């Protein structure tokens, strides 16, 4: 495992309970996020969906409420334990975005909701290749991330003194990396920061080429 992945896993194990409590109802305050997730759900229809980097399962739970058959994976065993407890009807497993334990073309949709942000550039490329690999031809990938450039250290994330870094991403660069992995970006959404956010937020919707 990459050293940064080990650090990220340890940090999220430590903050899992507080993270889940803090963000449990966040989607209720974000109509644009809900609209994008609803569009994603409509596009993938009855196909199985992977929530890649699911955290405590809050978005997987939302997608399940929209009628999708969701599987979640996360690098952090602590996060997976919370997800299993809070959403017992959904399958959650410990797993890495850079080495997904699923066969080719397993899913009609993949969600990477603020999960690519902890990967250094070489690992980000590998993760996109893996996400594309497990998508069926024509399947959709929806990503969400903070806009910017470079690595930042998060200051006492979720009230814990842990070592957690994140990468701000450029939408054009991520679109190019997606294209290199066999994914064609079909829609981009950019919004200004709200509340405690410090940067613009971006969302890319891409389709797996046939």
Provide the pLDDT for residue 156: 60
Nearest CA to 188 out of 167, 174, 209 is that of 174
pTM (2 decimals)? 0.93
> If you count them, how many residues does the chain have?
210
Q: Would you state the pLDDT for residue 97? A: 96
Q: Classify 3-208 by CATH class.
A: alpha beta
pLDDT of 173 reads 96
Task: Check residue 35 and give its pLDDT.
Answer: 97
So what's the pLDDT on residue 141?
98
- What pLDDT does residue 152 have? 75
Where are the chain's structural domains? 3-208
Residues 185/142, Cβ–Cβ less than 8 Å = no
Number of other CB atoms surrounding residue 85 within 10 Å: 12
Q: How many CB atoms lie within 10 A of CB 35?
A: 11
CA distances from 194 to 58, 113, 200, 201 (A): 20, 17, 8, 9
- Divide the 210 residues of the chain into consecutive groups of 10 and give the mean pLDDT of each group: 74 79 87 97 95 97 97 96 97 97 97 95 95 98 95 64 79 97 97 87 95
């Amino acid at each position: 495992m990459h050293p940064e992945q080990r650090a990220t896993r340890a940090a999220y194990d430590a903050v899992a309970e507080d993270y889940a409590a803090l963000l449990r109802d966040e989607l209720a305050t974000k109509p644009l996020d809900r609209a994008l997730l609803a569009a994603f759900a409509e596009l993938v229809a009855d196909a199985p969906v992977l929530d890649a980097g699911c955290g405590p399962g809050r978005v997987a739970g939302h997608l399940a409420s929209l009628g999708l058959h969701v599987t979640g994976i996360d690098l952090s065993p602590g996060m997976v334990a919370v997800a299993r407890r809070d959403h017992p009807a959904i399958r959650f497993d410990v797993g890495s975005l850079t080495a997904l334990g699923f066969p080719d073309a397993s899913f009609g949709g993949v969600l990477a909701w603020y999960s690519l942000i902890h990967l250094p550039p070489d690992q980000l490329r590998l993760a996109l290749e893996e996400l594309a690999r497990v998508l069926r031809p024509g399947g959709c990938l929806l990503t969400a991330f903070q806009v910017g450039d470079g690595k930042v250290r998060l200051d006492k994330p979720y009230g814990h003194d842990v070592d957690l870094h994140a990468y701000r991403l450029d939408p054009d660069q991520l679109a190019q990396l997606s294209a290199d992995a066999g994914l064609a970006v079909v829609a981009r959404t950019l919004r200004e920061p709200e509340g405690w956010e410090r940067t613009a937020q971006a969302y890319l919707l891409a389709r797996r080429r046939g």
